[in-house]
Homo-oligomer: A and B are copies of this chain.
Amino acid sequence: MSLTRLRQLISEKKAPIAVGLDPMESVLPPSLLAEPDRAAAVLRFCEEIIDSVAKLVPAVKPQSAYFEQLGPVGQAVQYAVCRYAQSKGLYVILDAKRGDIGTTAEAYAEAFLGSEYFADSITVNPYLGTDGITPFVKLAKESDKSVFALVKTSNASSSELQDLITDGGTPVYMKLAERLATSYPADTLGFVAGATQASQLRELRAKFPETFFLIPGYGAQGGTASDIALAKDANGGGYIVNSSRGIIGAWKKAGTPENYGKAAREAVLAMKRDLA
């Protein structure tokens, strides 16, 4: 499922939304927190969220860190969650932000996009240059999957390195974006561009009309629907917005810990209205 397939799913579901599966301790309801087997509790939580949102959204974005934090069993839980989401027709963007070179990057690509396993897409870190990205794009192309490279992230300190101005007057993230856009096909490699960086989002869209954007930073981090509107392509699409805590932790605001799935579904519907 390349980015073309993701675009289709977005248009079928009429929702440019990826539900972030970040099963950190603070979003687990008390009943699951009380279970002796944390890995089993995390798996159950993710499955319930997936069941609750699968009909409404095109994609989920599991965050590797919260699975790896479970210890030796973490990777197995991560795979189980990816498989389950795919069995429900969801496009799985594994947010692993891997970045290495040559045979090592090939091994990471194989680990997460290889035929035996089940992410449809993976996020990658571009600091090592195209050596670190090409093996992912190559495998993604062969298997109709996709890759998202970090370009402009949504966090406060993203400016430290990404916004350094180069001697030609262009910031680092834009130099990177130019190289990525000329090196890889737009239907396989997308950009991660944060909703908290509105002017940069506008500029990226202006320069890369064909590129697909994965947009973190909506909600909790401060990005709004009008910031996100700046990312729309000529057809009003070309992007997907991630929300994690705002959806999977919605039960906290609703005060319904035992109905965390229902609270997640309602949060998705509210987000859909907000974005539209």
Contacts and interface: CB of A to CB of B under 8 A. Distances in A.
Nearest to A153: B128
> Quick one: copies of this chain in the complex?
2
Chain A, interface residues (CB within 8 Å), range: 35 or more
Contact of A127 (B66, B126, B169): B126
A165 interface: yes
A158 B104 contact: no
B104 A63 contact: yes
A269 interface: no
A179 B160 CA distance: 9
Interface string A95-125: 0011111111101101110101100000001
23 contacts: A24-B107, A65-B107, A65-B111, A66-B107, A69-B110, A69-B111, A71-B75, A71-B116, A71-B117, A72-B75, A72-B79, A72-B80, A101-B155, A102-B155, A126-B161, A128-B157, A128-B158, A129-B156, A129-B159, A129-B160, A131-B155, A131-B158, A165-B167
Interface of A: 22, 24, 63, 65-66, 68-69, 71-76, 79-80, 97-105, 107-108, 110-112, 114, 116-117, 125-132, 150, 153, 155-162, 164-167, 169, 172, 175-176, 179
